[in-house]
Amino acid sequence: MRTIASHRLALRPWRDDDADFLLDLESRWEVVRFLGAHPTTMRTREDALASIARRRAVDDPVHGIWAITTAAEDRLVGNLLLKPIRRSTSQADTGRDDVEIGWHLHPDAWGHGYATEAAAAVLDDAFRRGLARVLAVTDPENHASQAVCRRLGMTHLGRTTRYYDTPNELFEKLPG
């Protein structure tokens, strides 16, 4: 998985020695509460290591799951993903493979524009590599994440149950 740089950030593959940070991040209800239809907090370092192995296993020229770090201090601040989105069970066999972008950051790193900066860098990189469209889905109550979508210039397409078997606000970004 490649590294992607922006003005203040470096996005790089997750490493085993990030396990303590990942556990700290994903054991927090305020971080995971809007992630998926049935969010759960992470409990153990073993779970963090297993999750890191799955993140590293993404093998694709465009998709990835990156650790977001600050360029100046090499400090971990969160997670950024670009990957095929899971359709709802009733929609499993319909249409093309849509790609989603997603983010979650440590609360200590909220309010600095890092999620927007990291996502903008990944979108630029993906469109340069030929991706034709990127989606984002957010829980209807997740106003912070919807604000990130708007800062990224994503178009709000309304509410849908097409993904993850749950109602979500759907956003779309096209190249250019």
Ligand X SMILES: CC(C)(COP(=O)(O)OP(=O)(O)OC[C@H]1O[C@@H](n2cnc3c(N)ncnc32)[C@H](O)[C@@H]1OP(=O)(O)O)[C@@H](O)C(=O)NCCC(=O)NCCS
Residue nearest to ligand X (CB): 113
Nearer to ligand X, 31 or 154 (CB): 31
Q: How far is the CB of 116 from ligand X (least distance, A)?
A: 3
Q: Which of 27, 70, 88, 142 binds ligand X (CB under 6 A)?
A: 142
**Alpha carbon 141 to its chain's center:** 17
- Report 41-70 residues binding ligand X (CB under 6 A): none
Which range touches ligand X (CB under 6 A), out of 31-39, 90-98, 122-130, 156-164?
31-39
**Is 28 one of the binding residues for ligand X (CB under 6 A)?**
no
- Report 2-21 residues binding ligand X (CB under 6 A): none
Instruction: For the chain, give the DSSP string.
Output: ---EE-SSEEEEE--GGGHHHHHHHHT-HHHHTTSSSS------HHHHHHHHHHHHT---SS-EEEEEEETTT--EEEEEEEEEPPBPGGGTTSS---EEEEEEE-GGGTTSSHHHHHHHHHHHHHHHTT---EEEEE-TT-HHHHHHHHHTTPEEEEEE-SBTTS-EEEEEE---
# chain residues binding ligand X, by CB under 6 A: 20
Which range touches ligand X (CB under 6 A), out of 9-17, 83-91, 113-121, 126-134?
113-121
For ligand X, the binding residues (CB under 6 A) are 31, 34-35, 102-105, 110-116, 138, 142, 144-145, 148, 151
